[in-house]
Amino acid sequence: MDKYLQFLISGIALGSVYSLVSLGITLAFRTTGVLNFAQGSFVMVSGLTFITLRDDMPLIPLLLLVIALGVLLGAVVERIAIAPARHLTHESLVIITIGLAEVLRGLALLTFGDRTKYTDSFVAWRPLHVAGATVSMQTLFVVLGAVVAVVVTLLALERTRLGRALRASAMDSDMSILCGVSPKMVTFVTLGVAGGLAAIAGSLLAPVTGMGFESGLDLAIKGLFAAVLGGLGSLKGALWGGMTFGLLEAFALFAVPTYSVSITLGLVVLLLVVRPQGLTSGTGARVGAL
Amino acid sequence: MNPAGTIDPPEAAPAALDGFEGMPLRVKAVSKSFAGNRVLTDVSLEAVPGEIHLLIGPNGAGKSTLFNVMTGVHRADGGEVRLADARIDRLRTVQVARRGVSRTFQNLQLFSDLTVLENLLVAEHASRRRAVRRRSRDGQAMLRDLIDGLGLGAVADKRPADLSFGERRFVEIARALASRPRVLLMDEPAAGLSFGDRARLKEMLRQVRASGVTTVLVEHDMRFAMSLGDTATVLAAGRCIFQGTPADAQRSEEVRREYLG
Amino acid sequence: MDRLTLPLVRRRNRDITGLAVVAVFVFALPFAVADDGTLRLFILAGTYVVIATGLQMCFGYAGLLNLGIPAFAAVGAYTYAILGRDGTNPWVAVLCAVLAAALVAAVLGVLVLRLRALYFAIAAFGLVLIADNIISAWTDVTDGAEGMIGVPQLSLGDLLLGSTEGTYYLMWAFAIAVLLLSLLVRHSAYGRSVLAVRDSEVASAAFGVPVRRRLLEMFVLSGAVAGLGGALYAHDITVISPKAFGVELLLLVTVVVVVGGKDTIWGVLVGAAAVVLLQNEILPAVFASGNIELVVFGGILVVAMILAPTGVVGLIREAVQLASSRVGRGRRAEPAGEPSRETEESHA
């Protein structure tokens, strides 16, 4: 019993992280049509920054700094790599974000070295014991942090003028242009938000798994799969997709640890074959029947 | 006097395109809805070889949707489409195309990275799979005739991006003919064409008709349509409101009200 | 009756002649250059040519961004190595490697090609991670993440092809063959139907082209060619590990295709030359640190995609066209592309 509870808990924890990553990807995709293959690298870079500065700063200011840097990273990336490429095909933009991911990976290698780095949990409290399962404090922070971040983001989208502009642009970009929403601004802000979300994910995750220059690829692919599983194009889907992916991965780790990656990704592909529109009704994945 | 009631300058009988033949296309009681919107309701028509069957109606009347149903792009909710006696409405687009139904698209769907000739060759290749009884000439000669007939000789080796709008339209039409269709569905081929190009298109369509091919022509330009059409089906809001000769269509009260009025 | 297709035939013959010239040059090179180091650079370039042609055919002709190419190279490499080490004739092992890669591509393609373009790209990308996982975990068969050593090499009768010169000729014989394949595909009715599918799925279906089957065929072809590249690489280095088939390989191969130009085999040749030179001559000379590759090639990919999406070959082509059209060819009555203003109203 406690084994299953443990795997459920890790599933939820993983799911929270993937929900954050997938939210960033889906948000960017919905508003700009760009599929950001570099989202995982954003997480990795932020996480490594967090770890590196951990000893120099108290926690809260550090978190704020990392988030601010994350937003800045997203905004800069948008200006230099996405904005000039707006007229290109989707495939070209994918290639560009892959190039970006590798640049970030390379910079991380140069700056932080090739070893995985670790840091302490946010607070040095003892783990909880619940019904035979162990929940570390950081795990709790991961879940809570993700929930807070998601709620704040969704509220901002609903309540603020900026948020409404983003949503309008996602629903009908031509119409929103007529209403005075600048598509360039939308892309700029969205990538910034994606960067911020990635920074939160990176900071939450860093104490749990550590971060290295290699971590980005793993997170990128899993985040993309999670977003697609949820039905790319719906924010609700991003969350469902992230959670489901996390649970799938926890299950795979539990059942066949050495092949967990293949099993998780493979299961997602099979799920998509059966239900191409993903879990929720997003923009859908199936090619028209020709 | 032609059916539209106007007089065309006397001309020799148009040379028929060699090796073409037509088949009757029967649409019976086809209905189609999209997400609760009724786009086609109980539409029937019969297009006969050697005739140009007009399909006219205001924007949104469902003409393009009907073409899509005929070519297997959409599946009808009710009714059937038959090519001669065989049902084709349940077939996929590729299968419908292989049976000899060709079409042009309202918003040109040319192969942008292929030259004009290559565009035609793709379509011509498809016709080789059918057991069409060829008469004298082979495929290349037919393509040559199409290219010359539509004035594309000078640009045969160019890509669509380098062509004028009229030339691109003609490539779309030539491509549809390159597959030696038994049924030719044309979706507003004259839109945006210059006066001279329109005349050339008319001439080509007359040749197609003389060859025996079954042609269904959607056209907004009434003068153009009336001067060519042998029969007309008028659609409005997804329903057939008139079927008969073009001249009668122009005189019909209902058509006037819905469309011309 | 061939006057009509003369331009097409001429283009094909021009390309074939060009490839023949390349073949002659490649054949003759070792006679002029005895230096092992230079030959090794060419061997590396040849490896990139083979693998990148797989991507070029898929992406350039069919528009499919097969980001899983390194995974298929891995399937080829490991199939070759495993069979070879167990005593199978190395040539048979190569054939099996190609077939294995093709089979994997076929199975995956059926699943993954049902998905829309971007979903397909994501799924293909995931293959890289999956391949790495399976290779690292299936230690009984693959010796795991540490890598497999003692991979046997090909030989022609008594002539062992493991020497630098031997591998050079082997690699380039296959590279030329693969380039020829790409060329013949492009200049054939089959290739035209593939490009048609890329340009307009709707129209190609409307003219009898089996869209999904074409995409699957090109996907399988690209996987098979990448598998061949992987097997040849295994023969060359005799040591293979999952690291060799990861994102770095994807990055390099993508740079080859994007920088060179995805539409033709010339793009692959130009791109491979550029990447090999940059990777092995220029970067080591300029930078002390060996870890600069990722940043440089990633940056090149971004910049190239923005500034020159058709690649170097594409730029050259555009320049040539611009030059020749300035030399006063026929002009049109109306600006290209705009519908005529003469409508029925003006001739009422």
Among C115-119, C247-251, C339-343, which stretch is predicted with the lowest mean pLDDT?
C339-343
Answer yes or no: is pLDDT of A288 > 50.
Answer: no
CA distance to A10, A35, A210, A218, A222, per residue, from C133 (Å)? 21, 24, 20, 11, 14
Q: With bands split at pLDDT 50, 70 and 90, how would you rate the model's confidence at A164? A: confident
Q: Any CB–CB contact under 8 A between B117 and chain C? A: yes
Q: What is the pLDDT of residue C281?
A: 87
Secondary structure in 3-state letters for A38-84: CHHHHHHHHHHHHHHHCCCCCHHHHHHHHHHHHHHHHHHHHHHHHHH
Q: With bands split at pLDDT 50, 70 and 90, how would you rate the model's confidence at C336? A: very low
Q: Report the pLDDT averaged over residues A26-49.
A: 91
Task: Give domain A2-274's CATH number out of 1.10.10, 1.10.287, 3.30.1490, 1.10.3470.
Answer: 1.10.3470
Q: What is the pLDDT of residue C169?
A: 92
Q: With bands split at pLDDT 50, 70 and 90, how would you rate the model's confidence at C340? A: low
User: Which chain A residue lies closest to B68 (C-alpha atoms)?
Assistant: A290
Phi, psi of B231 (to 5 degrees): -135, 160
Q: Mark which residues 320-339 of C lie under 8 Å from A by CB.
A: none
Closest CB to B129 among C5, C208, C330: C208
Q: Where are the domains of chain A?
A: 2-274
CA pair distance B70, B99, nearest whole angstrom: 12
Helix (H) or strand (E) holding B34: strand B25-34
Q: Note whether C58 and C186 are within 8 A (CB).
A: no
Structure tokens, B234: 């008028």
CA atoms lying within 13 Å on the CB side of residue C277:
7
Q: What is the maximal distance between C-alpha atoms in chain C?
A: 86
Q: Report the pLDDT averaged over residues C151-162.
A: 78
Answer yes or no: is pLDDT of C332 > 50.
Answer: no
Q: With bands split at pLDDT 50, 70 and 90, how would you rate the model's confidence at C288? A: confident
Query: What are the pLDDT digits (tens) for C195-217?
Result: 999 999 999 999 999 999 999 99
Q: What is the pLDDT of residue C6?
A: 86
Answer yes or no: is pLDDT of A129 > 60.
Answer: yes
Percentage of chain A beyond pLDDT 70 is 94
Instruction: Please give, rounded to a whole number of angstroms, the shortest distance from the CA of B109 to a CA of chain C.
Output: 6
CA pair distance A147, A20, nearest whole angstrom: 9
Strand partners, B232: B54, B244
Please tell me the pTM assigned to this model. 0.90
Closest CA relative to residue A16, chosen from A140, A196, A194, A130:
A140
ipTM: 0.89
Q: In the predicted model, what is the mean pLDDT of chain A?
A: 86
Q: What is the pLDDT of residue A235?
A: 84
Q: What is the pLDDT of residue C348?
A: 35
Secondary structure in 3-state letters for B190-223: CCCCCHHHHHHHHHHHHHHHHCCCEEEEECCCHH
Answer yes or no: is pLDDT of A92 > 50.
Answer: yes
**Report for A11-15, A159-163, A183-187, C160-164: range of highest mean pLDDT:** A11-15
Tell if the CB–CB gap between C204 and B125 is shorter than 8 Å. Answer: no
Q: What is the pLDDT of residue A285?
A: 41
Low-confidence ranges of chain B (pLDDT < 70): 1-16, 128-137, 259-261
- More confident site: C107 or C285: C107
Q: Note whether C70 and C88 are within 8 A (CB).
A: no
Phi, psi of B58 (to 5 degrees): -65, 170
CA pair distance C308, A84, nearest whole angstrom: 12
CA pair distance A111, A113, nearest whole angstrom: 6
Answer yes or no: is pLDDT of A286 > 50.
Answer: no
Q: In the predicted model, what is the mean pLDDT of chain C?
A: 89
Helix (H) or strand (E) holding A11: helix A2-32
Q: Determine the residue among C248, C294, C310 to mutate to test chain A binding: the one whose Cβ has the most chain A Cβ atoms within 10 Å.
A: C294
Q: With bands split at pLDDT 50, 70 and 90, how would you rate the model's confidence at A173? A: low
CA pair distance B221, B113, nearest whole angstrom: 31
Residues of B in contact with A290 (CB under 8 A): 73, 92-94
Q: What is the pLDDT of residue C343?
A: 43
Tell if the CB–CB gap between B165 and C334 is shorter than 8 Å. Answer: yes
Dihedral sign computed on CA atoms, order B163, B143, C14, C308? positive
- Name the H helices within A132-182: 137-159, 161-171, 173-178
Tell if the CB–CB gap between C306 and A218 is shorter than 8 Å. Answer: no
CA distance to B126, C46, C150, per residue, from C73 (Å)? 35, 14, 18
Percentage of chain C beyond pLDDT 90 is 68
